[in-house]
Amino acid sequence: MKNRTFEAHSGIIAREGIPIILFFLFFTISSFMFGSIASGVVFLLITVFIVWFFRNPRRNTPDYEKLVISPADGKVLRIEELSETEFMKGPCRRVAIFMNIFNVHVNRIPYSGHVEWIRYRKGKFVSANLDKASTDNERNIVKIKGDDGNELIVVQIAGLIARRIVCWITEGAYAKKGERFGMIRFGSCVELYLPEDCIISVKIGDKVVAGETPIGCLK
């Protein structure tokens, strides 16, 4: 059975961007018709940027079951080994991916499985590339349990400019690797918490593509 939640967000433009695009398109047309050419050009450029920002391209996701795929476009900011007591309940690995304002901001499922739970936490809006953003900033936490029993956490973190986290999936849903599950507006960070024995295949500074770039391999 097809997942209609994910189908609804498969257009070439993220649905959250359409009202904003229409708003600026109205002012663009009005400026050209009743205002000045200069103001029309300014609004046109803004409209084009917003269309580009909310782009939602198709991706070719590797189908090897054990691969963990990047949930976000951007650059690998941190790779750490730590003991996480709240969600992973022990030693794990954390990979942080920073998205700047020019990256695609639609997030994708990194590993096929059931969504066990979703937790939203209010917080601050410090720059998402700072270490304290992981604990201080507004964030949305999604736990996925794979078909093979592996468990991992995906955390959407708001940033200095990004002030809205959107999550389209619901608890109990089955999520397939590479499917779109949410977005964060205007620059932000996504973190992956992986089992301790996950073999990481990226390094700090690597550029990654959501739904395509392998982050690691689970056992």
Q: Is pLDDT above 50 for 97?
A: yes
**Longest pairwise C-alpha distance within the chain:** 63
Name residue, tokens 């900011």. 77
Q: Is pLDDT above 80 for 1?
A: no
Helix (H, G, I), strand (E, B) or coil at 213: coil
- Catalytic option among 31, 134, 188, 201: 188
Task: Tally Cβ neighbours within 10 Å of residue 16.
Answer: 18
Q: Is pLDDT above 90 for 25?
A: yes
pLDDT, position 13: 83
Six-digit token pair at 218? 């689970």
Q: Is pLDDT above 80 for 126?
A: no
Task: Give the residue-averaged pLDDT of 112-138.
Answer: 78
The pTM of this model reads: 0.85
195 versus 35: which is more confidently predicted? Answer: 195
Relative to beta strand 188-195, strand 151-157 is antiparallel
Relative to beta strand 113-121, strand 207-208 is unpaired
Helix (H, G, I), strand (E, B) or coil at 44: helix
Distance CA 162, CA 184 (A): 6
Q: What CATH architecture applies to the domain 67-217?
A: Distorted Sandwich (2.70)
Q: Is pLDDT above 80 for 131?
A: no
Question: Is residue 31 among the annotated active site residues?
Answer: no
Percent share of the chain, pLDDT over 90:
57
111 versus 89: which is more confidently predicted? Answer: 111
Task: Give the residue-averaged pLDDT of 192-215.
Answer: 96
Percent share of the chain, pLDDT over 70:
87
Q: What is the DSSP letter of 174?
A: E
Distance CA 172, CA 115 (A): 5
